Amino acid sequence: MFDDSLLLDFYTSMTQISPVTVYVALGSNLGDRSLALSRARNWLSKIALDDRLEESRIFETLPVGPGVQECHLNQVVRFETVLTPDQMLVFFKEVENWLGRRSRPRLHPREIDIDLLFYGETDLNMPHLRVPHPGWAARSFVLVPLLDLEPDFVCPVTGVPGRALLDEHCPRWNHEAWAFGQRMAVAV
């Protein structure tokens, strides 16, 4: 495993800014999915102010992608950080590598996936990074844990309520996502 001195070197080399609230989506459908999310949260806490993450419950969701895949475990976390979006992207990719993620085509199974959903009220559209994360508003595997974490969530960029997006874009969400360990939908 890696020692914290690698993280300290990485973190201290970063340009710091004023604290900003971020939302991050976690997902896994290969290997020990629950352990992958736990380890990802542990790493994310190291870039959160006061090592503090606010977490949704973990949800099991139907796979989206080719072939037969195991269901995903998905979760959304919220925290404050002083890293820029680019720094966070670099950090997320490193953590994914440390946790054993291998390169595969889009929508294929993965050991861990860490995505920046929102970065304060920032709207970014760069070739390597888009915030809000593309497609977030039409994905039950993002919206269900997001609304579990923050039931009255409103997109900080568009002002659209998350609940309206879930109802409009994911009408079958209660058949696509359920609290981990249960086999039925849970109201959010």
Residue 93 sits in a domain of what CATH number?
Answer: 3.30.70.560
Is 153 a domain residue?
yes
Residue 175: inside a domain = yes
What would the mean pLDDT of 115-131 be, rounded to a whole number? 87
Range of the domain at 169: 4-179
In a domain, 64, yes or no: yes
Does 187 map to a domain?
no
173 assigned to some structural domain? yes
Per-residue pLDDT at 123: 83
Residue 20 lies in a domain: yes
pTM > 0.75: yes or no: yes
Q: Please, what is the angle between helix 162-169 and helix 140-149, to 10°?
A: 150
* Separation of alpha carbons 72 and 64, rounded Å: 9
Residue pLDDT, tens place only, 156-188: 989 999 999 999 888 888 878 888 887 654 455
- The angle that helices 85-98 and 33-45 make with each other, rounded to 10 degrees, is 140
Is residue 188 one of the residues assigned to a domain?
Answer: no
Whose CA is closest to 80, among 44, 33, 39? 44
Average pLDDT over residues 129-151: 89
Sorting pLDDT into bands at 50, 70 and 90, what band is 45? Answer: very high
Q: What is the mean pLDDT of the chain?
A: 86
The number of folded domains in the chain is: 1
Give how far Cα 95 sits from Cα of 26, 68, 80, 150, Å. 12, 26, 18, 25
